[in-house]
Chains A and B, each alone.
Chain A
Amino acid sequence: MSNTQADPGYELGQKESTNYINASKGLMSWLFTIDHKRIGLMYLFTIMATFALGGFLALAVRLELFTPGETIMGPDAYNKVFTLHGLVMVFLFIVPGIPAALGNFVMPLMLGAKDVAFPKLNLASFHIYVIGTIMALYTTLDGGVDTGWTFYTPYSSTIDSQVVMMTMSAFVLGFSSIFTGLNFIVTIHKMRAPGMTWDRLPLFVWSLYATAIIQVMATPVLGITLMLLAMERIMNIGIFDPALGGDPVLFQHFFWFYSHPAVYIMILPGMGVMSELITTFSRKRIFGYRAIALSSIAIAVISFLVWGHHMFVSGQSAYAGMVFSFLTFLVAIPSAIKVINWSTTLYKGSITMDAPMVWAFSFLILFTIGGLTGIFLGALGTDIHLHDTYFVVAHFHYVMMGGTAMAFFGGIHYWWPKMFGKMYKEGPARFAAWTVFVGFNVTFFPQFIMGSRGMPRRYYDYMPDSGYQIFHQISTVGSWILFVGMLVMAVNLLASLKSGKEASANPWEARSLEWLTQSPPIEHNFHEIPTVVEGPYEFPIATATANAQGAESSDS
């Protein structure tokens, strides 16, 4: 009893010998492909490589802070390493992460489409991403920058380093992001299969739609800001540097006008993945479909109006602080609704804790902590004390890594069989997910405590008598646990490509369209465009009246 009219060629067990992976051969057939699935895969591996790079930099930062004074590097190296960790994780990993890798692969399949609306633009987006990444890495080898990923002026506009080149790389990467966003908006509007109405869209697609709106509208502001910064440095036009008649705080306004919406570029797709994982592994309809879908849009809109909460102690007026604080509390509500809806979805489900669900569980717990600790920072009175301390560092890692990265890895494990037609080993996959969950908390929870006790962020050194050392040391040990979990995950996934069991078309018994085609999918996704007759989460239900036969006929 399928809920959609299945593609006739893809009853379970039937499989064609050609698929998108082996349809054509050679490096060029990959580098210049316009197949969204191949582009998604190339994004996936590049993004995982940048995540590994950012992760090693984080391990170096944590190791340096194990003892006061110099542990493994001096202050100049440390400042560059933490800057690069931020830049890599933000611009190379987490902003493109879920949309460009998972979204590219899955979203057209979910819509019942053969590709995205503009396949060549999609390829261009990947090429630009690679160029931007190479520019960033070249800059790093050529001296690097030590400004922090935020490039605050006038430090960034006056110090002697590779700031111009690094901002140009972020500028270039911005275009990659804009192209992806533009492509997704048009695809979601125009490429839906017959019967795929807006209220039958998988929630992952809704979240990508909200994300794409922010990408298209906010990213140009970052481009303009970085361009102004470059102009100031190259042509000595006074914009941000007070010595030239500029205003340093203006940079912060511009920067956060992009970068606050950008944190929703980072988290919204993760929330979308969550909705898919929670429903599939509880085998139950999502609770509050409409509220979750619309809260994504609400977040996208309000996210443009809260940037000033990064500047409560930057010398902006008390009235500006008041307005931004108020709006910040408004943007918290849609996220709160999502969390409780995921949790409620579990009620009377039929739940298995497969590896993707372990990641989803981590997301739910860690994101809740990340969100709740945001209240301290949204409130003006407490933010004054906590601003720019490790409390903030812990808060955004709980949201960004505990949220988005957990969803990303959950999504990878969820769609891995679809992408490669192989199953990874379930035992090591669960072990990795639980290890990361433990390691994450050991790493970041102590940072809340030392932060509220006053430890400032971006510090190379701390006084031995300050009482912070024990928290730094627990945190560093946690980073090693995290590393072990990540390593097991990577080895397990890569090993499955060689020796994994064949995956069926729908190993999780999920209900959305991407599971109708074979694993891995054929080049053009579906032989015939499917006709959609129901929503994406129509799992079988054993009701009180239908209990007798419900259990039997449910999985046919």
Chain B
Amino acid sequence: MASTTQTGSFWMPPQASTNAAEVDSLFDFIMDLNYIFFAIIFAMTVYFIVKYKKSDENPVATSDFDHSTLWEGAWAFIPLLLCFVVFFWGFKVFLNSTVAPDNAMEINVTAQKWAWNFKYDDGQSTSDLYVPAGQPVKLIMKSKDVLHSFFVPDFRVKSDVIPGRYTTVWFEAIEPGDHRIFCTEYCGREHSGMYRTVHVLSAEDFAKKKSAGFEGRDESISPAEWGKQLYSKYGCNACHGLNEGEVKVGPSFYGIYGRKGETTTGESYVANEEYIRESIMEPMAKIVKGYAPAMPSFKDQIGDDQMDALIAFMKTLK
């Protein structure tokens, strides 16, 4: 997480992908144009205001200069020319950063309120993103619910993630390190909490960790502790608090195991293991009275071991 506290240049974050330098040169060029044109306008305006201040010596205007084809033409033509330069340069950078190379490693991304899911070619899925350094990676993205947007400032990549359609981004990370992923399309209550980390690993580390499972269980911790990690990893914390009686989008997990209550259809329920499993896999089956049907399904993301761990964690909350 340390990377986000460093700054690249004054304006830009660190350059952590192969495309970043190219984006930044264009940015710097436009910034130079900004400085130059602002200086011209500012200097002209302030100079004229000071120099041609109304006074006894200067009670009325001293020129009827109100048209000059050359001056006006130059002010249309020169900016237009520079705009064309910026346009072509911008388009070139855009194509380089949107068209992935053929040898790119593909990772499938699913966004939902308010978590990311990354699925690799061997079928395992993670909530943080793991990529090897020095290897182009192409993300094929879709959303389960509303619009989201995938943004890694240090990589200079961004694309909306849309329900019912695929969008892609690609990047090649330069060296191992951690970088922040933001959601940049407003998606509701926990929009600002939908940040994760992309872990760039060396090629060997990547292969090693992949075969061990990126987010596999650390055997030294208890199932309940692992469940607590999963609770924040899958973004449960966005909607479910841990304090007694805490109301977020969904009910609190405090004392959830064994809780009795009523659903919106008037049925009564007891929160046993099966109820909790069903609520995570098929959230629409039973909605607790007083809450909106807002929860997405975690069906293809949470495995049996993880489910056990989550339930073990919930049992400790009392």
Contacts and interface: CB of A to CB of B under 8 A. Distances in A.
A459 B189 CA distance: 10
A365 interface: yes
Interface string A442-472: 0000000100111011111111011100000
From A248, A287, A380, A539, name the one whose CB has the most chain B CB atoms within 10 angstroms. A380
B141 to A, nearest CB: 9
Given A339-B41, A349-B52, A389 B184 contact: yes
B292 interface: yes
A357 B193 CA distance: 45
B59 A554 contact: yes
Interface stretch (A18-26, A94-102, A319-327, A415-423): A319-327
Contacts of B164: 242, 247-248
Interface stretch (A48-56, A254-262, A267-275, A369-377): A369-377
Contact of B91 (A155, A381, A458): A381
Contacts of A350: 52-54, 58-62
B79 A336 contact: yes
B207 interface: no
A425 B165 CA distance: 60
B189 A75 contact: yes
Interface string B35-76: 001100110110011001110001111111111100110011
Size category of the B interface is 35 or more
B106 interface: no
Contacts of B97: 381, 384
Nearest to A154: B146
Given A340-B75, A384-B23, A384-B94, A551 B191 contact: no
Interface in B113-166: 145-147, 149, 151, 153-154, 156-160, 162-165
Nearest to B34: A372
B272 interface: no
A396 to B, nearest CB: 16
Contacts of A383: 90
A550 B23 contact: no
Contact of A543 (B1, B64, B90): B64
A171 to B, nearest CB: 22
A155 B160 contact: no
B86 interface: yes
Nearest to B156: A385
A339 B69 CA distance: 16
B80 interface: yes
Interface in B273-297: 292
A364 B158 CA distance: 33
A453 B11 contact: yes
Interface string B1-35: 10011010011110000000011001100110110
B160 to A, nearest CB: 5
B94 A315 contact: no
B1 A459 contact: no
B174 to A, nearest CB: 16
Interface string B83-117: 11011011111110111000000000000000000
Contact of B67 (A288, A336, A346): A288
B186 interface: yes
A321 B163 contact: no
A503 interface: no
A289 interface: yes
A456 B1 contact: no
A372 B192 contact: no
Contact of A449 (B11, B76, B149, B154): B11
Given A249-B162, A463-B195, A315 B52 contact: no
Nearest to A249: B162
Contacts of A369: 38
Given A154-B145, A159-B188, A348-B61, A453 B153 contact: yes
A378 B87 CA distance: 8
A318 B98 contact: yes
Contacts of A372: 33-34, 37-38
Given A243-B163, A344-B71, A351-B53, A554 B151 contact: no
Nearest to B36: A372
A329 B182 contact: no
Q: Return the 4 tightest CB-CB contacts between A and B, nearest first.
A: A381-B93, A454-B153, A379-B90, A242-B164
Given A318-B99, A325-B87, 20 more contacts: A75-B192, A146-B189, A154-B145, A155-B147, A155-B186, A282-B48, A288-B67, A325-B91, A340-B75, A344-B44, A346-B52, A347-B52, A373-B34, A452-B12, A452-B27, A456-B182, A456-B183, A456-B184, A457-B186, A461-B192
25 contacts: A79-B191, A148-B186, A152-B147, A285-B64, A287-B65, A289-B66, A330-B83, A336-B76, A337-B72, A348-B65, A350-B58, A350-B62, A379-B86, A387-B184, A452-B12, A452-B27, A454-B4, A454-B180, A456-B183, A457-B184, A461-B193, A463-B195, A465-B5, A466-B4, A540-B61
